[in-house]
Chain A
Amino acid sequence: MGISPSNFSYDYHVDNPAPDAETVYVDPLRQARSQKEARQDAFIGIASLLVFVALVVLLVGRSSGWGTVAETFFNRDQFSESFPGLLQAFWLNVRIFLIAEPLILIMGLLIALARTLKSPIFLPIRVLATLYVDIFRGVPTILAFLLGFGMPALQLTGVPSDAIFWGTATLVLSYGAYVAEVFRAGIGSVHPSQTMAARSLGLSSLQSNRFVVLPQAVRNVTPPLLNDFISLKKTRPSLQFWDQSRCYAEPKLTRLQTLITPLMWVRP
């Protein structure tokens, strides 16, 4: 016997047994209604979006300066001319990112952990970690790039003078400080009762960090960590400014590139 509104009743008896535990029953009238509402919502949303776009196009297109703006920023010839360079720079950006990001994560995690050490013997480590975090967060990234001027200038043997090397090192140092604070907040967000439970199971403090606290901390801070990743990708181009100013080279910018840079976070 199937279920229908007429026999779906709270008075279960021999002729009308209770439904088994897996049965899912939705009133067909309600189902039809919610489907209809979903279709209506989709229609209203799309219509409203179209009207909005139409309004924007009308307003911008009718403004007196639109012709110049279009010529300056949306010139197809310039776009196709600079596109290969952009692609190349984008690839460099990706490579730097792939190297810097893991280093930043490791650095941030180690610093954050160093700051949670309690034993007095670790006081110097704690102090160093705190100093590092406060200094590198306080200094503007562009200044931190001074490292890239300074280190090669010392002309130490074995120290690379490569711009990309020092640029990446700067990114790691500067973002490591931010990420360390994010991790520290994450560790703080795990309730102490979790550590207590882990310790009472007999886990050492290292083990309870490794298996209980850190996995939860990292989960809790994934959104702000992603923030920092994105910001890292956007900071990378200032490496270029620094590199160019180092060479006193005349920046060769096309107008299109000036626009595209903030959009794609890269410049050839």
Chain B
Amino acid sequence: MSKQDSYICVDGIWKAFDGYPVLRGTSLAVAQHSATALIGASGSGKSTLLRCINALETVDAGSIMVNGDLDVTAFNVDLDAIRRRIEIVFQSYNLFPHMKVLDNITLGPIRVLKKSQKDSKVAAMELLTRFGLESKALDYPDRLSGGQAQRVAIVRALAMEPEILLFDEITSALDPMLVGEVLDSVRELRAGGLTIVMATHEMSFAKEIADQVCFLHEGVVWESGTAAEVFERPLRAETQGFLKRVH
């Protein structure tokens, strides 16, 4: 895919924390309505890359364009515009513990999208039903299992009607038993045509769902291609070594 027609175009971004380089000229192109999996060792910069795409971190150099019209890395960027179009779901759910599930979900639509209470609630209940969580609407987050909490976090992101969803190892904190239900949710979103970029340690899932797999190594996209290319015929020694270790 050429840079011009990619939906998200990450172009040579650099990011250091306290003089320690984490992203070193990382580039990435993501097509619309596709799923991209970021794999790589712990500390290779997957989370940092995702957070840069959502402007939760500012980059040191490089640019990130979305749909050719939104420059996430611009100096005077409208953060609201970015975050209306791009939502991120975290490994640790980060639900708001003092709010009921329903209020967690409607907070953004009401306060940011300025929707009415009633419309937001109706939409939230629809989403919860879609993910089999309607009975949890009035519970507080601490009453949820890990899998339920993570699916609520996904619903909360979806309620903002984003174009792009970023998933940062959303199954890493879960029991193996609960991983399946969360992955089912991701499958459904993928089928619904959202653009998804996810950091993941679930290699088999990445293999199944991702149109593109990118292997990050020490802050650069070391190797990328279709799932078949990266998993079956990795070209570089580091990729081969990593895949051998995780299997």
- Known A201-B107, A203-B112: A193·B80 in contact at CB below 8 Å: no
Residues in A164-207 with C-beta less than 8 Å from chain B: 193-194, 196-204, 207
A84 part of interface (Cβ distance < 8 Å) = no
Q: Which residues in A have their C-beta under 8 angstroms from that of B160?
A: 201-202
The smallest C-beta distance from A39 to any residue of chain B, in angstroms, reads 33
Q: Is the CB of B90 within 8 A of A199?
A: no
Q: Name the CB-closest residue of B to A195.
A: B94
Q: Given A203-B112, A215-B98, decide whether A197 and B90 contact each other with a Cβ distance below 8 A.
A: yes
B94, B111, B112, B157: the one contacting A196 at CB < 8 Å is B94
At the interface, yes or no: A221 with Cβ under 8 Å from chain B?
Answer: no
Known: A193-B90, A197-B90. A203 touches B96 (CB 8 A): no
State which of A194, A201, A216 has its C-beta within 8 Å of the C-beta of B112. A201
B94 touches A194 (CB 8 A): yes
A-B contact count (CB 8 A): 55
Q: Does A129 contact B (CB under 8 A)?
A: no
Q: How far is the CA of A150 from the CA of B195 in the complex (A)?
A: 68
Residue on A nearest B83 in the bound complex, by CB: A202
Chain A, Cβ-Cβ closest to B84: A202
Whether the pair B98, A200 counts as a contact (CB closer than 8 A) is no
Judge if A212 is at the interface, Cβ distance under 8 Å: yes
- In contact, B112 and A202 (Cβ under 8 angstroms): yes
A199 near B97: Cβ-Cβ < 8 Å: no
Closest residue on chain A to residue B81 by CB atoms: A202
B54 near A216 with CB under 8 A, answer: no
With a CB–CB cut-off of 8 A, which chain B residues contact A216?
96-98
B94 → chain A closest CB, angstroms: 4
A193-B90, A199-B56, A202-B160 known; A212 vs B96 contact (CB < 8 Å): yes
Number of interface residues of A (CB under 8 A): 17
Best-surrounded residue of B56, B80, B98, B108 (most CB of chain A within 10 A):
B98
Flag if B98 contacts A203 (CB, 8 Å). Answer: no
Indicate whether A122 reaches chain B with its CB closer than 8 angstroms. Answer: no
Select which of A193, A203, A219 is within 8 A of B108 by beta carbon.
A203
How many interface residues does chain B have, given as a range?
20 to 34
User: How would residues 38 to 81 of chain B score, 1 for a CB under 8 Å from any chain A CB and 0 otherwise?
Assistant: 00000000000000001010000000000000000000000110
Taking CB atoms and an 8 Å cut-off, the chain A residues in 189-240 that contact chain B are 193-194, 196-204, 207, 211-212, 215-216, 219
Asked if B88 lies at the interface with its beta carbon under 8 angstroms from chain A, I say yes
Q: How far is the CB of A49 from chain B (nearest CB, A)?
A: 37
Residues of B within 8 A of A194 (CB): 94, 96
Q: Which residues of A contact B87 (CB under 8 A)?
A: 200-201
Tell me whether B88 and A200 are in contact (CB under 8 A). Answer: yes
Complex alpha-carbon distance, A203 and B157, angstroms: 13
Pair A200/B54 contact, Cβ less than 8 Å: yes
- Tell me which residues across on chain A come within 8 A of B185, comparing CB atoms: none
Q: How far is the CB of B136 from chain A (nearest CB, A)?
A: 16
Closest to A201 in B: B108
Partner of B111, one of A197, A211, A215: A211
Judge whether B92 and A193 touch: CB under 8 Å: yes
Given the known interface contacts A200-B56, A200-B88, A201-B156, the answer about A219 and B111 at a Cβ–Cβ threshold of 8 Å is no
Determine if B98 and A202 form an interchain contact, defined as CB atoms under 8 angstroms apart: no
Are the C-beta atoms of A201 and B98 separated by less than 8 Å? Answer: no
Residues of A whose CB lies within 8 Å of any CB of B are 193-194, 196-204, 207, 211-212, 215-216, 219
A-B pairs with beta carbons under 8 Å apart, 28 shown: A193-B94, A194-B94, A196-B56, A196-B90, A197-B95, A199-B56, A199-B79, A199-B83, A200-B56, A200-B83, A200-B88, A201-B83, A201-B87, A201-B108, A201-B112, A201-B157, A202-B84, A202-B112, A202-B160, A204-B80, A207-B111, A207-B112, A211-B96, A211-B107, A211-B111, A212-B96, A212-B107, A216-B96
Which 3 A-B residue pairs are closest in the complex by CB-CB distance? A197-B94, A202-B83, A202-B112
